[in-house]
Amino acid sequence: MTHPLEQALANVGSMTEAGTLPIIVLDLDSTLFDTAPRNLRILREFALSNHHKPDIAAVVDTMSLADMGWNVTGALKKAGVDDDELLAALKKFWAQRFFTDEYLAFDEPSPGAVSYCHELWNAGALLYYLTGRHIGGMELGTLRNLVRHNFPWGSGRTVMHLKPSFHQSDEEFKQDAIRAIESLGGQVAAAFENEPANCNLLHAAFPNAASYFLDTVHSPRPDRPHEAALWLKDFRR
Ligand SMILES: [Mg+2]
């Protein structure tokens, strides 16, 4: 059986042959990038800043990247911390850092993601990096991430599309993004997402594209990926 990752490449090949621009839509957080190092870093800084509460430092000290889930308060709760005041303080501390250029520097590419993106690009695809990270705080860090880890960037056929403001709703942003993708005049060959609701939204907009669901971490929303979604853990074959 061929690996699911071959489907996107096959679509790119046939579209290129037919003279159509193949577009690959790529989410960043928990799709192309693993955000666990960013979360663990923030958690460790929080523990350091609460040195008057040695219990927290001791708990955080036992935690690893594998303990980082969708959010850090959940991870800490799971590790046995039930001090609501402290968890609320962590939530605030986390939000002040997680959505910043500076802390994006800790993200690591998902295994296999860089070389797979090069394969798609070399086959003629336009890579459309689509992320809910916002302009006015995260665009430089996002660009640095792409460049630092050698993702295709800056040689033509790449787009980086961020949310125009932190406060725009995700729903409105995704609808705007779909219109922007359509305006390119090509055809979406594949889309990669870790949020089931976004995976389904892209599938509804581009039903002929290969639709990938990255089974990493996602929000507690109850959505399930649609039936035809191709499931991946990362980009290794
Ligand atoms: Mg994501």
| Cα 29 to averaged position of ligand 1 atoms, centre (Å) | 4
DSSP string, 95-115: HHHHTSHHHHTT-EEPTTHHH
| Cα 194 to averaged position of ligand 1 atoms, centre (Å) | 5
Q: Is the pLDDT of residue 119 over 80?
A: yes
Tokens 């040695």 locate to 54
Would you state the pLDDT for residue 51? 76
**Residue-range domain boundaries for the chain:** 5-35+108-232, 36-104
Report residue 218 as tokens.
Answer: 């996602």
Rounded Cα–Cα distance for residues 129 and 31 (Å):
11
| Cα 53 to averaged position of ligand 1 atoms, centre (Å) | 33
Rounded Cα–Cα distance for residues 175 and 169 (Å):
10
| Cα 45 to averaged position of ligand 1 atoms, centre (Å) | 24
Angle at CA of residue 126, ends 210 and 172, nearest 5°: 70
Q: Which of 18-32, 98-112, 163-177 has the lowest mean pLDDT?
A: 163-177
Smallest CA-to-CA distance from 214 within 236, 237, 190, 231 is with: 231
Average pLDDT over residues 120-131: 98
| Cα 54 to averaged position of ligand 1 atoms, centre (Å) | 33
CATH classification (class only), 5-35+108-232: alpha beta
**pLDDT per position as a tens digit, 56-103:** 888 999 999 999 988 889 888 888 888 999 999 999 999 999 999 999
pTM of the model: 0.95
Rounded Cα–Cα distance for residues 21 and 10 (Å):
14
